[in-house]
Structure formats: structure tokens, C-alpha cells
Structure 1
């Protein structure tokens, strides 16, 4: 839950005093966020990092997931302050003090019964949308090791075609049938530890393709499970990099890969096209992929902003176009067709080609 207080005092000596406080003190952002550029103010008594921006403060210093539920509310998962809900009229913040067990929210989805699921650094959190209205304070249910979850540091989730919930975590995968958690074994292979990790079992993303196969993004490339056999795709097969953050199957059946150090690759089932290493685009650190209702592929690239691919060419949006920062991590389209961008310095939305920053006071819509 973020609460900002800003006091600006201008004296004849032109002294600027700026203070910012956050209710949540514990943050776990190791290997979680793109590079963040700040400035440092030093006094005789303290030194803290600040951004010199006197516009209204962002919803959160870092938005890492965006999701719209079936009631129309927008949920924003943050990197250290729990989750934020915008229900069309008001903005609500939910953190550990509100029964929401997690500071960093890395995944959000809704199941067929109207239950919202949040994957956090402390486990899973569920919320039954049918139990309350969009304007009520939610009652959250938390799941961790004590409830049978193999690993509580959750990075990704998928609800498959059969209704099974798959959970990717720091040390492997669990499935949940609504009653019990079941571990799913992934092999420990040779890890590319250039991002400072020592295991290939961390699963950053889970995807189900049009053949019903499950894909698990890891630090050793992608594992593919067809229900009987576990295969792999890695740099040995032409993938640009083994540290895979996200995957997406587009409308034509191609598989896209967002990698941590080698940008974006596309796989047509036979060969890879590596857009970044082939210098088609810039920005090697790519965290997510999204396909909008028109079939465009969107992804953020560290220090390069956001790219949109229309099937023929790439369009780039960056700070020069109004982005609050070039460190975007998540892209989402709501039911009205609005594209939302979340990352360092908070939330923005696209109106045509115009980027509009969104704070607690809006503007949430035109």
C-alpha cells in the first residue's frame, strides 16, 4: 500500500525538500526488475534515492502485472507494495496488512468459477469475485508451503484448457486441481547463470499451445510437455538465449520468446528468427510478450521502450513519445481495447499513438 507525502518549500536559498514514505518496508527485488535510474540526495543525517519529478506520484514505483477481471476491475500487481485495484470509480491498495500475502505480484489470472489468483513472492493468493462486489474490501485466501505448495516464491501461472492451475516457482512447478497441489518434476540441466541464478528449475512463464502442449520458460531454454514426453528448445536449436522470461503463441502458430540477455526470438516450428541479435530491433532484456485483439505483438525492451509488431514491421514507443520510463515490464489490453503499460515509474495507457501517464487521480479514461 503506497502513501506518498510531498512537501515543496521554496526559500530565498532555493532549497528543495522532498520526502516519500511507503507503508511496506520489506521488498524482494533481486533479479526482478529492469535497471532503474535514480538520483541521490545526501544530507548530514540521511541519504535516500529520489526521482526528481514533481508531477503527481505514480500508483506504485513499479507495476509488473496488469489484469482485468470479469467484473471490469483493473488489477495492478506491484513489485513491492502488493496489489492495486481500480474498479471504475476508486483506487484501492491491498497488502499484507489487508490479508494479502505478498509484496511482489508476478502473475494474475481468473478461473472459470470467478476466482482471482495472484502469484507472489510469498505464495498464492485467491479472491472469490462472487463473494463481494467490486467496491467491497476483498477477503483473501493465502497458500504457501503449509498448504502444500512446493515452493512459495511464485513467478508464473497458467490455467490450462482442462481447468488445472499450473504454478511456476523458484524451484520448479506445481499443479493445482482445486483440492491439492501436485509437484511436476523438471530436470536440472546445464544452467546459463549469467543472470546470477544457479538452477534451471525457476519457471518464469507457462504457456499452453494450440496442440495442448505445456511450455515452461526456464534458464535453460524452454521445456515442452505433451502429456507423455518432456522435450527442450535452447540455443542448441537456434534460440537466441537460454534465459527465457516469457513465451507467446501468435495467431499463425509461431512461438515467440522473450529472453533476458538476447532479446526476442520467433520459432515457426522449424527455425528461429532472432530479431534482436540480427539487429532488427534494440534492447536485449525483454520481460514479457502480449498479443492484442488485432493480432499485434507487443513487448518491452529494456532501455528501448516498447515495440509493436504488426506482422510486417516494428513500431517503437519510448520516453521521447511520452513513456514515463524505458523500463516497462508488462503490457495488457482491456475489454475496451485500451492498451496499458506498466513498469518503473508506474502506469500508462495508449490513446492511438499518444501515451498518457495514469496516477491515482487518473486520467483512467477519456
Structure 2
């Protein structure tokens, strides 16, 4: 039961930047390794599942157990339930045009205006209290992905957004079938939803188009989505067979796929990208595509080749899962992992604790 609960916590967190959501084998893959060497400071979060930079340049780090941490360039401060946050498990962060910050948590939705928190739950119309991802689109609509579907909030009321289910066989845990793992607006204004068991879905404002195993996905358990500068859509999937109760039946396909609206491109020669789980995909300011793995660090695809960056902690043991990727306005690449926060430097990935190093 402990492993299943651990898995659910991780799965919640890996959706929308999220990574986010299997049995004991998968839980072990995502469990952070224990640091054996003495380290300065403590981990900002055992599971660093959300990274966000606001319009003022502050960095926000969502954790599953310590609330959300804000770094303003000088000091690190935590916001928790004691400050008014609805839950200490913060899995997604977004900012609206008024500068309000929105935090998706395991117990509902919190809005922070810089002074105080306003909280929303199912009692206020939220479709499910287990929030998994947030999106503020180009029209300033707030989309909330949850473990019970997706809804929109106009500032006054929540409206459930109904998504039709494609005709697929659900091989994943039944508890995750309504879990919206990601929300993305593409360059044409289409809204993409990814789900754990139903693949991906594109909504153009009128109609829905489903992308599933039938269209070429490794699995219908889609965890991440991103668009590149050419308009290609990249999907990150997990191995659905890992949900199987029989140990000898847990192998299968999962990983990274590029979709050009007609054809799928796969990367079977790259470790971790065809028989593993991809929980985060991110496009940086230069157009590079960054891809997470479980056990192989992160990859940067520059349009020609994949460049690997191992991610290790102070004990020089690999972080087993990268769950979130972000580039800040200074060009730094931040990684949220099972094991803490990391930043890429010319010397490799550096573990950032409560004591830094921040520079």
C-alpha cells in the first residue's frame, strides 16, 4: 500500500511541466536515492515537481510535502498551509495577467495575490480537488486539469469541460482513467489535453481529434506534451505494462515521439526514450527540446542530435526521475527531480539545496 500511495503522489506531480502520476516496480524507479554523504543544507523538496518563474523574475518550486518555495534572488521562503495555502503538495503553478499566482494542489486550487491566499475546492465548483495541471491560454482562460477531468474558471465560476473518450482499451489503473496529465495551447490556438489511458486530444474550438496507439503512440498513457518551432508536437508516454500485477509482464513501449500532424518519429537508439517513461518535455528560448528520463538524466535535442546530461546528487548517485524542466530568463536550465532541485552548469547538473549554490 505504501508503494501504491507513493506512486500516486508522483503521478499527480508529473503532469503539465508536472510529472508527473503502477505498482511497486515503478514506485521504486521514481523513489529518490538516499544521499550518503554529508551535504550543506537540506533538499528544497524530496520530490521537486513544479518549477515556475513569475513576471518579476522570482523562482517558485512546488514540492509534494513542504508547500511551495519562492527564491527572489536573495532569499528562499516557503509558503505552506500555515500561510493559507490549501495544501502542502503543490504540483503546478501559473500566473494570470493581473499577476496573481495560481497553485494546483492535491486538495484544491489556491490563488495568491502577493498578500493572501484564496482557496477553491469542489464546494466552489472545482471539478475535482486533486489538481494535476494548470494552463492560462492566450485568451486568459484558466484551465484546470484534475484527476476527475478538466474545467475552466472565469474568475467567478467553474465550468466543467467535457472531453469525449476515444474507443481504446484501458490498461492502466482504473483510478487514473480521468486523470488529465497535461494541458497545452499550440501556436494555432488549439488546446491539447493529455490523459493517462486515453492518449492525447486536440480541441480546435469546435471539434476533438484523438491521438492514441492506433495513430502511433507508444502507449495511451501520455504524460507530457510540447510544440517545437516547426509546429511539431512532441509526446512523452509511460510504459502502460508497468501497471500489470504480474512482474514478468511489465515490459513494453514508452518514451518520446514526435508528431508532424501526419507521421510519428521514434528514437529507439536513445537510452530511455523508447522503453522508458518520459514525464517532462520542454522547449527553451533557443528552440532546443529538452526531454526527461527515469534513470538517464535529461536530453537536449538541438534539431540534429540528442545530448545527454546525467543528473546526480551529492552522493554521486543518479536521480531516478526528472519530473520538471524550466529555463529561466537568464538562460539557466532547472530540473525538478525525485531527489531534489538541480541546475545545469558547464560542469554538469548541480544539486541546489536550501543553502544553494544559487549562483
Question: TM-score by structure 2 length?
Answer: 0.83
Match of 1:63 among 26, 48, 51: 48
Gaps of 5+ in 2: 1-5, 13-20, 22-26, 240-253
- Mapped partners of 1:86, 1:74: distance in 2: 5
1:223 aligns with 2:207: no
Give the 3 Å change call, closer, same or farther, for CA 197–191 of structure 1 in structure 2: farther
- Residue 357 of structure 1: which of 338, 341, 351 is its match? 351
- Change in CA separation of 1:282 and 1:30 when aligned onto 2, cut-off 3 Å: closer
Counterpart of 2:222 in structure 1 is 244
1:299, distance to aligned residue in structure 2 (A): 1.6
- Work out which of the residue numbers 307, 311, 325 in structure 2 matches 1:315: 307
Displacement of 1:199 in angstroms is 5.1
Q: How far apart are residue 293 of structure 1 and its match? A: 0.8
Deviations 1:174-204 (A, max 9, x none): 0111221100012344566544234532111
Matched, 1:185 2:162: yes
- The separation in 1 between residues aligned to 2:74 and 2:39, in whole angstroms, is 22
Q: CA deviation at 1:79?
A: 1.8
Cα separation, 2, equivalents of 1:110 and 1:324 = 32
Distance 2:79 2:255 in 1: 34
Tell me how many residue pairs correspond in the alignment. 320
SS at match of 1:31: helix
Tell me the distance in 2 between the aligned counterparts of 1:190 and 1:199.
17
Alignment of 1:202 with 2:194, yes or no, is no
Q: Does the 8 Å CA contact 1:318/1:326 hold for their aligned counterparts?
A: no
SS in 1 for 2:123: helix
More relative contact order, 1 or 2 (CA 8 Å, 6+ apart) = 2
Q: What is the deviation of 1:223?
A: 1.3
The counterpart of 1:159, out of the listed 110, 114, 136, is 136
Q: Please report how far the alpha carbon of residue 150 of structure 1 lies from its aligned counterpart in structure 2 after TM superposition.
A: 1.3
Is 1:280 aligned to residue 270 of structure 2?
A: yes
Instruction: Give the whole-Å Cα distance in 1 for the aligned partners of 2:31 and 2:133.
Output: 27
Q: 1:320 to 1:192 in 2, by over 3 A?
A: farther
Which stretches in structure 1 are left out of the alignment for 5+ residues? 1-25, 40-49, 130-137
Q: Would you say the 8 A contact 2:32–2:46 is kept in 1?
A: no
Question: Which structure's CA Rg is the greater one?
Answer: 1
Verify the 8 A CA contact 1:145 1:152 in the aligned structure 2.
Answer: yes
Rate the CA distance shift 1:290–1:237 in 2: closer, same or farther, 3 A. same
Deviation at 1:28, TM superposition (A): 6.3
Alpha-carbon distance in structure 2 between the residues aligned to 1:145 and 1:191: 29
Q: Does 1:103 align with 2:88?
A: yes
Matched, 1:266 2:258: yes
Whose helix fraction is larger, Structure 1's or Structure 2's?
Answer: 2
Distance 2:348 2:270 in 1: 24
Equivalents in 1 of 2:59, 2:143: separation in Å?
23
- The answer to whether the 8 Å contact 1:28/1:104 transfers is no
Aligned-pair distance for 1:228?
A: 1.0
2:210 aligned partner: 232
Matched, 1:31 2:44: no
Q: Over aligned residues, Cα RMSD in angstroms? A: 2.3
CA distance in 1, matches of 2:135, 2:312: 35
Instruction: Answer whether contact 2:30 2:320 (CA < 8 A) is retained.
Output: no
Question: What is the match of residue 325 of structure 1?
Answer: 319
Which secondary structure does the structure 2 equivalent of 1:293 belong to?
coil
Are 2:251 and 1:257 equivalent residues in the alignment? no
User: 1:102–1:256: structure 2 CA closer, same or farther, 3 Å change rule?
Assistant: same
Calculate the TM-score normalised by the size of structure 1: 0.82
1:36 shift after superposition: 4.0
